[in-house]
Structure 1
């Protein structure tokens, strides 16, 4: 006889791990016990040595589908007298390392029961088991047990209790387990929030959606605004009420066959759509699609997701090609997740409300992804992925990193893992700041980490910086924006050595006090040197230049030609007095901060070719410039690469002049866009070659929001790899500012 103690860490609570261990132990005729503790799962198993070895191997290799094991420690312990293998009550201690599973889509077994008239959970919108259902959004503490979730509000009925306590049941210790007799329930409310008595709230909602109404529907991590995507009047009205003029709406369809009616989906995109995380995936739309053209105006792609809750399946069952399923909020505000807040904020948008009485503890948006160079890249890391840990190249002290101003996320490190939060939003108002505060507190609680080192952006006026300054008893470390991008990419890929970081984004506060955004950095978490950057251009009007790309076009023309530049068509649509005023501001340096931003160069080109003079959402001009690219065009424009005082400088003036010549020659905008993108990729290769010669570095990292652009990313990646570089890019961490906190945390950890 032999006895082993097995301690397991990772995502091993709330995923059916204990019943799996219990059944495996019985199969191998072992005695002992298994329990949840604040670190994960602990096992003591006893039996014949060969059986014990087989048991331990299968625990590690045949774990439940939602489990992720990060530590598996086996040691001998004294043999005891016992007769059976049992599941013990959970133990809570001071050291908490248990990881919570992300929220997970409804599994096939539950789905079959949902539509089986003979099943007691027929059409029950909260059906779940240990393999699926809500997790992170309902967890209030660890260990992951029902009293530490918002399901504590719903005592189990006798039938559900029997399942919960039966180790052979798929619902053994499924913490959200419930049925219509004891669990959460749907309710339907009118525009004023008054509850309406309807026999079946889900069916009533479907009928209103078919009539063209707009509904606010409470989901896993917050409310969605929902409308029939084929109803042009409904979609137009939703845009008007939500004050969202052009930004694409997310869509949801019942299955891949329905998605195929309006989009062309390749194999990699199908796997991503149907994966357990269920993100919104950007897929190319069909020209003959049956949906409203207002779903995604001036865009070749739709953002699509498949259902991930039972309620979604009930809404979509045999009724709609697709539903608009967009986050319920007003511009620049976080997603609404509390009922009273929904009634107060959405009354002017929704015609009615479909809600439930299960509390959401942590609001969580949908994740967004696209496939680039054959791999999934997250644009927004949220539901389905959070709070999975990211392994770091080495262990470090606990650090709290507060991210950036836009697309804010926070990050907490624990030993050799980093926990990046869900998308919080743009820190432009107090409501988003409160979301940041809640997320920090929640992550610290479920991880049992109280960092004494706090990293924040170098920019002194960001709300995240001010939040850091108000935290008592901590050491604050300011991290340069683009250095954080570089290290975020390296850390995600498990790399620690110095690299050439190609960091292209919109704006970030530079070490010299100017606005950076077209950077070639050499370094790693230990530090960096600026090897090259785009030439500085004035941003006439400061932030106004990010909302009105024509300002950057005038700036680029002035840089390329001086005060007298060609009278291009886009200028004819502008007020001549405004153009003259801008020229005067640039000449005198009045309210014209300097920027090396690649994102602002995209804005300038989009305006120059007449594509976009004003934007209604961040990154719109760059996105639309990518959309119009003509396939097959390989030509490039000239550019200048000069040695500056401390680093190389990429001057876009020759590019701008060549582009103007093409404009005057009436070259189609699709070709203009392709040549501009091609030029950027060739620029990157030229600079990286020079920096490799000077430094010997052969590892290149691509990061920053501009590398959400698939054409540019794939073109740049191919050129660099052909030239002998090893290139790392983002995948599970966004290349945009949503991944910035990871880099901040690793950099600060080295200085702690």
Structure 2
């Protein structure tokens, strides 16, 4: 104990970051008890505020332990210390009720079941044995149940469940790991689980066992997960998987899988040490893994060579998987391209034509969350979809952004997200989806209003894409009028570049300058054409186009995105001229194009009618895929053609040389596409397999990009950022990274936000902030 004559002083400690809903207040209470300190701690809109009194030595020890012994889910962004206004004080250290104020704290993502809670549901002597909604401050729902901040029970969908005496005792005990765990519940007082047939009947028996029995029998079920409904089927039952694809109208896209544990995953896929850490992390994301070992049902992965596996992320999933003999398909519970269902009544109405039963509960999903998707390759981890387990944890920016204006960035059109830039915190929303789908667009607008209200955020600037027809840009203009904010158009590929630069750890401030290679499907260029295969030079404040893939027509506009043969016609026309059919003898392509009435496209291209010019790398991939017979007529999902080329090329790269492909623009050879297409058509005529053609194409594109940067001169920047959805292709990402690194360049890859349009809003936000500051 502190002696009566010991000098006592007081400190006011502000801790900001992800510090609410993670057990931070009881953590501080325990530290204070260890050190015999007095005072109090409470949550408010800015994070956690601590007033503490004791000897200078013990106060110093408290600060050290705050930094080094934080709770597992906490992220401390800053600790600010000031002298306490009140005089020396003795007595207990107390945890006070949350207080309102300006919202500046982050929201912790939903997290997978922790080992302690998993032990509880497996222990027959525990009162939460087999209870599917068990959680504590180290795990469980957060954003999915949250209505507003501060994160207290009354602010969540758990408000309707009054705590029983036993749960209340845990909730009120600072020494308990469930102290102020807002979703705390048990079978006596918490949410209820049941099994329901499509006719609305509830059979007798344990709901989890009933569901497991049906899955073993090949039945398709809907399961209400953490962020919405999922559709499950036995992954070893080929007939059931095929029926799911038929009912869901999803013919080719790979299906996500859930396994009981890492050992089960290793029966079907290679799992490295780093990949096992990704799988077992609190995010419990889907991880793309190399197929190996036992074979799952035909159709699970489609035509691709990777499995997307995840581990159970809730007690319900753990209980279900424990009753099954193998993995299950666990895909989004939705109709066609609609968002996944979250409401029980809507799920009954919209999913009854797809599933044969429901594993359902009565805890409301306030905010929809898809599963996150990640991958590990030689360049490091890559986030392909940032949602459950990852969003909406803020991305910390360079300290120079602390005084930046408040920015709302609206994102793009596909893989849509939005971003709130608040000082050095960039709050990037969860994945929302394709805004051309009406229910998704409605959800996008609702979520923007929710985030603005949640964070009491009034934007000064609203950043939008330059594309004149993007729905996100149109809604951004409406919000700018509503809030009296300035509307800031941002070029699409500059935003991709900036998103990569803005990620914490890249070490470039707003004043930094570098190159960027941005490859994607489309983006509105500054010259009024459609860009998508770009080399840029600049930084956050501006970017100049220094090289690009040669532009070719996009016949039919949006139709060319769905139908790869249209891009093949455009590229052949650009390579060989109007008489391109004469060059196709012996390939079979002339007859195939004749069946598609390609002559109509020839006229569109020659007259410039509905055939805008495009330098899109995505459409080049489509054209090559169509030439090899892949997805010739149409793609069943966005990026299918490119993904199939990647899978084919993977085992062939080491034995091939690249096609002669070059970029146009200053600092690069202007060679057009003629040598490339001449070589590719010659290989088709010679009967070269599609896998070898794809490998030669990948290698040629890697060479072309490296050559474009090599010609930039000695005074050019030594750093290159890689961004855009085409860099989801691991062969391209790894190949370009390795080649540029060997040329002495520093290569920046996305690691914290998606390389695709899911990261676009972050780039828009930082560009708008920097341009405002430089006016």
TM-score (norm 1): 0.97
Who is 2:238 aligned against? Answer: 232
Distance 1:118 1:624 in 2: 51
Distance 1:653 1:315 in 2: 57
Q: Of 627, 633, 658, which aligns to 1:636?
A: 658
Who is 2:324 aligned against? Answer: 319
Distance 1:22 1:349 in 2: 51
Distance 2:745 2:591 in 1: 45
Distance 1:229 1:429 in 2: 29
Distance 1:678 1:119 in 2: 58
Structure 1 residue matching 2:244: 3-state secondary structure: helix
Q: Of 45, 54, 64, which aligns to 1:38?
A: 45
Whether 2:687 is the aligned partner of 1:666: answer yes
Q: Deviations over 1:378-414 (max 9, x none)?
A: 0011111111111222211110011001000000010
Q: Of 203, 207, 215, which aligns to 2:221?
A: 215
Whether 2:128 is the aligned partner of 1:110: answer no
Instruction: Report how far residue 584 of structure 1 moved.
Output: 2.6
> Quick check: 2:233–2:240 contact (8 Å CA) kept in 1?
yes
Q: Deviations over 1:663-691 (max 9, x none)?
A: 22222222211111111111111111222
> Quick check: 2:565–2:623 contact (8 Å CA) kept in 1?
yes
Whether 2:534 is the aligned partner of 1:526: answer no
Distance 1:462 1:640 in 2: 31
Q: Of 327, 345, 348, which aligns to 1:343?
A: 348
Q: Of 514, 522, 528, which aligns to 1:499?
A: 514
Distance 1:340 1:652 in 2: 54
Who is 2:83 aligned against? Answer: 76
Distance 1:83 1:743 in 2: 50
Whether 2:100 is the aligned partner of 1:92: answer yes
Who is 1:604 aligned against? Answer: 623
Q: Of 147, 151, 158, which aligns to 1:151?
A: 158
Instruction: Report how far residue 48 of structure 1 moved.
Output: 1.9
Q: Of 358, 363, 366, which aligns to 1:361?
A: 366
Instruction: Report how far residue 571 of structure 1 moved.
Output: 4.0
Instruction: Report how far residue 649 of structure 1 moved.
Output: 4.9
Distance 2:487 2:629 in 1: 45
Q: Of 56, 59, 62, which aligns to 1:55?
A: 62
1:129-208 superposed matches below 5 A: 129-192=136-199, 194-208=200-214
CA gap 1:641/1:71 in 2 versus in 1, 3 angstroms: closer
Who is 1:488 aligned against? Answer: 499
> Quick check: 1:228–1:320 contact (8 Å CA) kept in 2?
no
Whether 2:572 is the aligned partner of 1:553: answer no
Instruction: Report how far residue 429 of structure 1 moved.
Output: 2.6
| Structure 1 gap segments, 5+ residues each | none
Deviates more, 1:41-50 or 1:362-371: 41-50
Q: Deviations over 1:528-566 (max 9, x none)?
A: 111011111111221111111111112211211222331
1:582-661 superposed matches below 5 A: 582-613=601-632, 614-629=634-649, 630-641=652-663, 643=665, 649=670, 651-661=672-682
TM-score (norm 2): 0.94
CA gap 1:454/1:647 in 2 versus in 1, 3 angstroms: farther
Deviates more, 1:115-124 or 1:461-470: 461-470
Instruction: Report how far residue 653 of structure 1 moved.
Output: 2.1
Instruction: Report how far residue 196 of structure 1 moved.
Output: 1.0
Who is 2:337 aligned against? Answer: 332
Distance 1:209 1:643 in 2: 57
Give structure 1 regions of 4+ aligned residues with deviation exceeding 6 angstroms: none
Q: Of 360, 363, 376, which aligns to 2:381?
A: 376
Deviates more, 1:572-581 or 1:162-171: 572-581
Instruction: Report how far residue 82 of structure 1 moved.
Output: 3.2
Q: Of 261, 276, 299, which aligns to 1:270?
A: 276
Distance 1:577 1:480 in 2: 35
Q: CA RMSD in A?
A: 1.6
Who is 1:412 aligned against? Answer: 420
> Quick check: 1:187–1:355 contact (8 Å CA) kept in 2?
yes
Instruction: Report how far residue 374 of structure 1 moved.
Output: 4.7
Distance 1:641 1:127 in 2: 56
> Quick check: 2:109–2:388 contact (8 Å CA) kept in 1?
yes
Who is 1:452 aligned against? Answer: 460
Who is 1:469 aligned against? Answer: 477
Q: Deviations over 1:560-591 (max 9, x none)?
A: 12223313224434444612222232222222
Structure 2 residue matching 1:371: 3-state secondary structure: strand
Deviates more, 1:555-564 or 1:249-258: 555-564
Instruction: Report how far residue 329 of structure 1 moved.
Output: 1.2
> Quick check: 2:663–2:705 contact (8 Å CA) kept in 1?
no
Structure 2 residue matching 1:691: 3-state secondary structure: coil
Q: Of 436, 439, 442, which aligns to 2:444?
A: 436
Q: Deviations over 1:474-531 (max 9, x none)?
A: 2111111111101111111342311111000011111111111001111112111110
Q: Of 580, 587, 595, which aligns to 2:599?
A: 580
Distance 1:124 1:197 in 2: 19
Q: Of 98, 101, 110, which aligns to 2:108?
A: 101
Who is 1:706 aligned against? Answer: 726
> Quick check: 2:44–2:98 contact (8 Å CA) kept in 1?
yes
Instruction: Report how far residue 641 of structure 1 moved.
Output: 4.8
Distance 1:97 1:426 in 2: 29
| Structure 2 gap segments, 5+ residues each | 1-7
